[in-house]
Amino acid sequence: MDHFLYRKGILHAEDIPLPDIAAQVGTPFYVYSAATLRRHFRLFEEALSPLDHLICFSVKSNSNLAVLKLLGDLGAGMDVVSGGEYARARAAGIPGERIVFSGVGKTREEMRAALEGGIRQFNVESEAEMHQLSEVASAMGKTADIAFRINPDVDAETHEKISTGKAENKFGVPISRAREAYAAAARLPGLNPLGIDLHIGSQLTSLAPFRKAFTRIASLTETLRADGHAITRLDLGGGLGIPYETGNDGPPLPIEYGQMVKEVLGHLGCEIEIEPGRLIAGNAGLMVAGVIYVKQGEDRKFLILDAAMNDLVRPALYEAHHDIVPVEEPAPGAETTPYDIVGPVCETGDTFAKSRPLAPLQAGDLVAFRSAGAYGAVMASEYNSRPLIPEVLVDGARFAVIRRRPTYEEMLSRDMIPAWL
Ligand code: LLP
């Protein structure tokens, strides 16, 4: 459930009619619902209680400072994968002890910044990284709490570009090398191996791969404890999928996920961390675009929007489906026309949907892309020199621009022409 509903025939974000936002900020824009973000966070809180747990929002899914602050105020921790995301989490007021640092290629500078500013744990993805972190931490006179990210060799049964838990993927330490890795870490200065981490993929639509992976982690926990390591923390990663198409059976609910976590891992007495991104932010956001032209092609109709693949790349990159709905509700039983819904970027890949049946639209009308709150704004680029689009946060009857649209001048000001040209 989200808070984007038609009221008197106009699509609202909570209590705000979307055309009001469009009039103020122009199109296209992203809009997030605070109530939906809060609700999704609380679903995970309920799902994991009474286990000792920390929900670390995956910053890569939506890194706007206002979104991070809203979640941080509810008690969320953050999962970051770069120095930039770490800086964002800190700027949003998240204390270091609630930030976990994941990622397959952390640099010395990133390690130093996190150790300096405070960090809950590093999720270490290789033995090479382990050695480097040991050097960096001990040179600073610090001890880093670490979990190895274990690659459990489980197929997440999701899109191949977002599947991460198979042996062939670049992520994590192979489960077969885990005992050696922990033994080596225990001998090195500056490291305190206290946990196990995994993340097998994103947009999982069944619990079975999670259960399989967590079962492997449960037995690894026991093995490592028998080897003398005090494993007290398990970071289960993110990955729970969301319904992208209304009307279809959705993926499992957080409560069902939590139940399974308790069944498979509850007996170990570990503190549980999870790193959800999409489930919290995905259906808490829309991208709203305006129709520039309706164009009659040889045998099809194109709806040319002012939003493009640079603003929302998921359809072009993953053939992802987003529901696209008119902001003005069509009359019940209105005839529909199949549209190819495209942006103005000079690539055929700039196609959001093909033959999508919609009630007739015309230039100037607004449409909303659902499920765009995660991996939307964060993946945007300025391709075709299109400035990044604004983000808006709605909370009940108020809204605020939480990232404004840059001017062309601002966009151009980052380039420099050398004096010798
Ligand atoms: N933890 C780690 C270590 C991750 O790599 C990810 C996502 C998450 C947590 C959060 O996963 P989530 O709960 O959001 O599924 N751009 C793609 C998704 C990439 C996901 C990458 N890792 C998309 O638009 O579908």
Question: Which pLDDT does position 56 carry in this prediction?
Answer: 98
Pairing of strands 10-13, 16-17: antiparallel
Question: Is pLDDT above 80 for 1?
Answer: no
Most ligand 1 atoms within 8 A of CB, residue of 163, 236, 278 to mutate: 278
* Rounded Cα–Cα distance for residues 405 and 389 (Å): 5
Give the tens place of pLDDT for each residue, 356-404: 999 999 999 999 999 999 999 999 999 999 999 999 999 999 999 999 9
Give the tens place of pLDDT for each residue, 88-98: 999 999 999 99
Give the whole-number percent of the chain exceeding pLDDT 90: 94
| Mean pLDDT over each residue of the chain, to the nearest integer | 96
* Rounded Cα–Cα distance for residues 120 and 245 (Å): 37
What amino acid occupies position 264? V
Give the tens place of pLDDT for each residue, 5-23: 999 999 999 999 999 999 9
Ligand 1 centroid–CA 409 distance in Å is: 33
Residues marked active site are found at 346
Question: Which pLDDT does position 4 carry in this prediction?
Answer: 98
Ligand 1 centroid–CA 314 distance in Å is: 13
What is the arithmetic mean of pLDDT over 145-158? 93
* Rounded Cα–Cα distance for residues 288 and 370 (Å): 9
Question: Is pLDDT above 70 for 253?
Answer: yes
Q: Is the dihedral of CA 191, 193, 195, 200 positive or negative?
A: positive
Pocket of ligand 1 (CB under 6 A): 58, 60-61, 79, 102, 162, 199, 202-203, 237-239, 275-279, 314, 318, 374-375
Question: Is pLDDT above 90 for 178?
Answer: yes
Give the tens place of pLDDT for each residue, 292-351: 999 999 999 999 999 999 999 999 999 999 999 999 999 999 999 999 999 999 999 999
Q: Domains for the chain: give ranges and CATH numbers.
A: 4-31+282-412 (2.40.37.10), 103-274 (3.20.20.10)
Question: Which pLDDT does position 160 carry in this prediction?
Answer: 83
* Rounded Cα–Cα distance for residues 37 and 322 (Å): 19
Give the whole-number percent of the chain exceeding pLDDT 70: 100
